[in-house]
Structure 1
Amino acid sequence: MSWNKFNLYNLAHRALPPQTSRKTLFQQRWEAKRLTRGYHGDHLTERQWQRLFNAGGRATSSTLPSLTFAALERRLEVAVFRCLFAPSVMAAHQMIRHGAVQVNEKKMLYPSYRLKDGDMITVDPDAIPMLKRGESPKEPHTYTPRDYSQPFHFLPDYLEVDYATCSAVFLREPVARPGRSEIPSPYPPHTHQLAYEFYVRKRG
């Protein structure tokens, strides 16, 4: 999860499902695990990543693989990145560690903090690299993303962001249903399914 131009280039060229016609089912699952871990869980240890799949879920079998990744969206570092306040999850991690992020008006120093529905996130404007100060104190800040990253920017429906106050509200956990998922990912649900099967089979 990064707006780095090299990362965006790689994601753009990996957006299509990998060719699987000549791969065994195990190889397809392993490749899906590698891809999803590289995007959704690069900031996690392998043990933390495996816990996602051990936790199970309340969804039907067709939506459970995608919902497995929904828990990650509650992590404060991921939410700060999704709000476009940081150019990467690792940058958001550092912002939180340096005391630039508050949750419900209280400084939060734990990047892995799990947000609850309705939690308000506030970020110090000086810590946001894409924010340019006005020439005078009375002029508002201007949010200016890098040109090459703008086509990739979006705000998920489960976040409400106000750039004038550098704050956001985590409305709810993303949902998934057959044919549609709110979990932001460069990979299709089929890839999530294969990654889920890799860990479920391994666990069994």
Structure 2
Amino acid sequence: MRKKFHGLKKPKIRQDWSKWNLYNLSRMVTPRASNLTFFQQKWLAKSLTRAYHGEQIREGIWTRMFDRRLPAVVPMDHKVLARTDGSDQAAGRGSGLDQDPAAQDESRGRRRTPQPTPHMHMTYHPTERRLDTAIWRALFASSTRQARQFVVHGHVKVNGKKMIYPGYLLNPGDMFSVDPERVLFATGARKYNKNNPDAYEAKSQHEEIDQVVDDDAEDLLEGEEEEGAAKEEEKPKEEEKVEEIPEDPKQALKVLLSRAKQITQAPNQKISGTRKQDLRSFQQEVKRVLSKIRGTKYNSKQPIEETIEGLEETLNTILGKIATASADSPAAASSTPSTPTSSDTTSASAPTTTTSNPQMQDGREDAYNAARDARLLHAALERAQENPVDVRKPYATPWRPREFMSAFAFIPRYLEVNQNICSAVYLRHPVARPGLAEVPTPFAGETMALAFNWYLRRR
């Protein structure tokens, strides 16, 4: 990509999702033609429009693709077409059979003005047939250059066959598909955004890197322990008389880690969400300590023992909180009201403060809150299962849309897109209708007309 791809002094609109492009769109105006010659006006319009429409296409290739015939259609009344066999329409214009679009509406008493057909907006309609442009229009890539890269790298199929030519011209009915992982990477938020270090991606990046480093360190420590045990078995018996080595801190840390995992994965142990978070945080802390002491020698004077003692105290504190919570839950359950007795009936006659809300009566509030929390937890687990956290992905997880995507998220009429399988069908060629041109463009009709005239004299 060129260095000044998004120029701010001389803005040029590009086919990509970025804050620079969005800023240039917000301050785009139609060029003034008061002090320019007609040739200069055409050249300026060509320069602006070519920066957006197919800037990845070489000028010579686009000049051969240019077609002076601009496709357009005239809407027909579907009721008339269903009522007749088409012979009336075959009679041709001027026969008096076609209706005047500006005829007076007698029922409403007002005159209907016809909408002009924006033919000039169809100047670059041949570029919409290209495979890389269609991928970008279908929201499978964040720019036409990225869509071109996907095609060249073999991540795109057309009608079930791999297509590596980004200039392939689609025909009506062709179906193209992109690898879902590439689509998630292209349209998802970045894992680390260097331009916004306070963003969610920047915060989650450090946590995910620490997790990966800790897991790798744990695997490496396990391999080192196995190799050490094998070497100790192969040593001669004379070496066993050497002074005994003190307890290995790594082994102590591994014991603490295994205890925390057993408590978390115990099937019959009812642990609240807060205690589970404490246990997970404890496991991460143990892994960090393991990664820091990798490949070092230990003795009784090192402060690692103090760290291990602190971790043991932390684990004992968490276990004490879990035991307290489990001891309180049966007591709360036993305190629920049972069958009414005589004392209950006598107390019922006394004036009591009751509410009309059944959820607030005699312990039902706790049951209601528990059921509500269970529903919320179940919904959260379902969302986490559909969109999990995966540190191995090159994009931020859980997946969320890319920044500045909403301003460019639209699909033209000539494409039928299925986002679930990352596939789309090229239904037909784009056309112009009264008041609508199906080739999306940010430029005014005057600018597109000048660009059309520039290429018209070249053919």
TM bracket (short chain)? 0.7 to 0.9
User: Which of the two has higher C-alpha Rg?
Assistant: 2
The match for 1:48 among 46, 61, 67 is 61
Q: Could you tell me which residue of structure 1 aligns to residue 17 of structure 2?
A: 3
The match for 2:121 among 66, 71, 82 is 66
Normalised TM-score (structure 2): 0.40
Q: Could you tell me which residue of structure 2 aligns to residue 90 of structure 1?
A: 145
Give the paired residue count: 197
Equivalent pair of 2:175/2:425 in contact (CA under 8 Å): yes
Asked if 1:134 is matched to 2:410, the reply is: no
Distance 1:82 1:144, change over 3 A: farther
Q: What is the deviation of 1:37?
A: 0.6
Q: Matched residues in 2 for 1:164 and 1:59: separation?
A: 32
Equivalent pair of 2:70/2:122 in contact (CA under 8 Å): no
Asked if 1:33 is matched to 2:52, the reply is: no
Distance 1:183 1:59, change over 3 A: closer
Q: Matched residues in 1 for 2:70 and 2:406: separation?
A: 35
Equivalent pair of 1:143/1:163 in contact (CA under 8 Å): no
Asked if 1:189 is matched to 2:445, the reply is: yes
- When structure 1 is superposed on structure 2, of 28-37 and 43-52 the one drifting more is 43-52
Q: Could you tell me which residue of structure 1 aligns to residue 26 of structure 2?
A: 12
Distance 1:83 1:35, change over 3 A: same
Q: Matched residues in 2 for 1:143 and 1:190: separation?
A: 42
Deviations 1:157-196 (A, max 9, x none): 1111111111111111111145421111111222111001
Asked if 1:57 is matched to 2:69, the reply is: yes
Q: Matched residues in 2 for 1:27 and 1:58: separation?
A: 24
Distance 1:179 1:143, change over 3 A: farther
Q: Judging by fraction of residues, say which structure has more helix.
A: 2
Q: Matched residues in 1 for 2:170 and 2:71: separation?
A: 21
Residue 100 of structure 1 aligns to which amino acid in structure 2?
Answer: H
Equivalent pair of 1:66/1:183 in contact (CA under 8 Å): yes
Q: How does 1:122-201 map to 2 (within 5 A)?
A: 122-128=177-183, 129=185, 130-131=187-188, 134-135=387-388, 144-177=400-433, 179-201=435-457
Q: What is the deviation of 1:52?
A: 3.2
Q: Matched residues in 1 for 2:398 and 2:410: separation?
A: 17
Equivalent pair of 1:57/1:64 in contact (CA under 8 Å): no
Distance 1:30 1:173, change over 3 A: same
Normalised TM-score (structure 1): 0.86
Deviations 1:121-154 (A, max 9, x none): 1110111122588329xxxx99743232212221
Residue 57 of structure 1 aligns to which amino acid in structure 2?
Answer: R
Q: Matched residues in 2 for 1:24 and 1:179: separation?
A: 30
Q: Could you tell me which residue of structure 1 aligns to residue 97 of structure 2?
A: none
Equivalent pair of 1:2/1:8 in contact (CA under 8 Å): no
Q: Judging by fraction of residues, say which structure has more strand.
A: 1
For the residue of structure 2 that corresponds to 1:169, the secondary structure is strand
Query: Please, what is the CA RMSD of the aligned residues?
Result: 2.4
Q: Could you tell me which residue of structure 1 aligns to residue 160 of structure 2?
A: 105
Asked if 1:115 is matched to 2:170, the reply is: yes
